[in-house]
Amino acid sequence: MMTVRNHIFGAVAVAALLAGALISPRQAFAEDPAVEPGVFKLAIQPWLGYGMWYIAKEKGFFKANGLEDVELVNFVEDKDMGAAIASGQVNGDNESIQQLLVKVQAGIPLKGILLMDASTKADAILIKGDDIKTPADLKGKQVAFEKGATSDLLLNYILQKNSMTIDDISELPMPAATAGTAIISGTVAAAVTYEPYISTALAADNSIKVLAEAGEAPGLISDMLTIPEDVLKNKPGQVRALLKSWDQALDFYRTHTEEGRAIIAKGVGAEPSELASAFDGVSYYSVAESQEALNGVFKSQTYPSILKAAVAAKMIENDVPYESAVDASVSAVK
């Protein structure tokens, strides 16, 4: 099955976008713009958090909002998606917050404009046995996790919360799927992973428990729709139509959840039954809910926590100003 959340970012060709660095996306939606002609290419990975795009495609919401077409361009690794957005091969992408920070700090003029989803139970630290009862007990223990990914961010946050650093544990880097296998086999004392690997591990051995999960810091593990600033300037109508389509898809999902989940599961290459627990561990945001969060608690509380954890995980070198990475003004859909 495919539920990739590969958020490792390599060096990308940023020059193609640097020319748009001085564009102010806040000017993009002064009025409700007409939808520009042409296909909008949206980079996507097979993660259910991006699932409303599959519904919008399946149910014709893109065309209903005036878009000629939206091509969902699939990627497995974030470094390839980063290269595509930097070179202009795609018009927008979907990514975790920390990867937006990595790209912005690398000089790519992107803006996160829509908070799409947040993990509450779909990312977690798992332990096996009775030796570890609190996060403080991780000290000196071998912990399996994927560096540079959402697991890295969650681990660093939990360590910081308990007055520890990554140096207090023994790191064992590996993909999230492998980390789930490692905790089952007892190779490691703890593992950081995400769904469906969490449910698989818990079902495999009743001595495996959840030590901490993403919901302890609402929004810490979350994803955004990110758009290059030149696209915000030159294709504001397409971007507005894209946001409206997300909202319609979410309305459909909330009223036809079973069918919506089936569409999303098909999109990510899985069976709905395989993703039941994963769906339950993810919260989706409407455009209005996103705008409220981005202008409120996400800005004041969540973003600083993400910055702190991302710096500790050495994903970024220093803080990225909020306004450099996020612009909620363009999500004010009429």
Give per-residue pLDDT as tens, 117-133: 999 998 999 999 889 99
Question: Considering only CA atoms, which of 101, 149, 150, 147 is closest in space to residue 304?
Answer: 101
Does residue 139 sit in the same domain as residue 189? yes
- Residue 178: other Cβ atoms inside 10 A: 16
Does residue 203 sit in the same domain as residue 231? no
Coil/strand/helix, residue 34: coil
**Residue type, position 20, single letter:** G
Q: Which residues contact 171 (CB under 8 A, 6 or more apart)?
A: 142, 143, 145, 147
- 326 falls within a domain: yes
What's the domain count of the chain? Answer: 2
Strand 142-145 relative to strand 190-194: parallel, antiparallel, unpaired? parallel
What is the tens place of the pLDDT at every residue in 148-164? Answer: 888 999 999 999 999 99
- Provide the pLDDT for residue 181: 95
Does residue 31 sit in the same domain as residue 74? yes
Token pair of 238 as six digits: 């397409």
pTM (two decimals):
0.82
**How far apart are alpha carbons 128 and 142 in whole angstroms?**
12
Question: Considering only CA atoms, which of 203, 223, 192, 204 is closest in space to residue 302?
Answer: 223
Token pair of 250 as six digits: 């979410």
Does residue 139 sit in the same domain as residue 209? yes
Question: Considering only CA atoms, which of 270, 283, 118, 97 is closest in space to residue 200?
Answer: 270
Does residue 226 sit in the same domain as residue 299? yes
Residue 231 sits in a domain whose CATH number is 3.40.190.10
Q: Is the pLDDT of residue 110 over 90?
A: yes
- 56 falls within a domain: yes
Mean pLDDT of the chain: 88
Per the structure, the complete domain to which residue 256 belongs is given by 15-119+220-331
Does residue 224 sit in the same domain as residue 190? no
- Provide the pLDDT for residue 4: 54
Question: Considering only CA atoms, which of 97, 21, 89, 65 is closest in space to residue 306?
Answer: 97
Does residue 21 sit in the same domain as residue 109? yes
- 3 falls within a domain: no
Does residue 189 sit in the same domain as residue 254? no
Residue 201 belongs to what H/E stretch?
helix 197-204
- 8 falls within a domain: no
